[in-house]
Amino acid sequence: MTVFGSFKLTKLLHKIIPVFIFCMIFMLLLFPQACRNKKPEFRVISFFSAENDPAHISFVNEANRWFPEMAEKYNFIYYSTSDWDNLNPEFLSGYQVIVFLNSRPDSTDQRTAFRQYMENGGAWMGFHFAGFALTPSAFPQNWDWYHNIFLGSGEYKGNTWRPTSAVLHTDDLLHPATKHLPETFTA
């Protein structure tokens, strides 16, 4: 390369480098905004009651602080409501996941909507008191599909109301959720 060719290259670089730097700064400033504007992966609707029992109220409050943080971190929308009448086909059509934080639906229409949602490919997570059923009590086992088929748990025979140890048996050691568990263990 001649001195003249080197001069032309240097002059060209002096023009290109500032444009390149400007483009890089622009992209770095724009990129976080583009990430924030990314369409959420899915929508979650959470139902709760949070009445009477301090443990239930505390759990709901903690969950309703934690889930929005996870929604922001993992790009989904989280909405919670104590209005169980929203458990209907029209409302549920806007959500990919239903969460029962501490209870279950009581009315026949709500239960029918939930069952249809689940039988048509919906996703669900239940926490805390969502699986409780004890006859006789204020929460009797009066929904066979939910307790016996969907949860496969039937109803409680009693409740200790404090931690109790139990020997647990892992039925499927190859399943992703249980592959790291021993065949039996005490919890």
**Distance between CA atoms of residues 174 and 137, nearest Å:** 38
**Distance between CA atoms of residues 97 and 74, nearest Å:** 14
The answer to whether the CB of 78 falls within 8 A of the CB of 90 is no
Structure tokens at 156: 């409680």
Q: Is residue 102 part of a domain?
A: yes
Confidence of residue 8 (pLDDT cuts 50, 70, 90): low
Q: Is residue 36 part of a domain?
A: no
pLDDT at 4 (0 to 100):
45
Residue environment code for 41-65, b if the CB has 16+ CB neighbours within 10 A, otherwise e = eeebbbbbbbeeeeebeebbeebee
Q: Is residue 33 part of a domain?
A: no
Q: Is residue 97 part of a domain?
A: yes
Tokens 């059923």 sit on residue: 133
Can you give the CATH number for the domain in which 51 is found?
3.40.50.880
- Is residue 45 pLDDT above 80, yes or no? yes
Number of domains in the chain: 1
Confidence of residue 23 (pLDDT cuts 50, 70, 90): very low
pLDDT at 163 (0 to 100):
73
Average pLDDT over residues 10-17: 51
Confidence of residue 78 (pLDDT cuts 50, 70, 90): very high
The domain in which residue 96 lies consists of 43-161
Q: Is residue 7 part of a domain?
A: no
Structure tokens at 7: 């001069």
Q: Is residue 2 part of a domain?
A: no
The string of pLDDT tens digits covering residues 109-158 is: 999 999 999 999 999 999 878 888 888 888 888 999 999 999 988 887 76
Q: Is residue 94 part of a domain?
A: yes
- Is residue 22 pLDDT above 50, yes or no? no
In terms of pLDDT, which residue wins out, 30 or 70?
70
**Distance between CA atoms of residues 76 and 107, nearest Å:** 29
Q: Is residue 182 part of a domain?
A: no
Q: How far apart are the first and last CA of the chain?
A: 77
Counting every residue written for the chain, the total comes to 187
**Distance between CA atoms of residues 53 and 55, nearest Å:** 5
The answer to whether the CB of 77 falls within 8 A of the CB of 49 is no
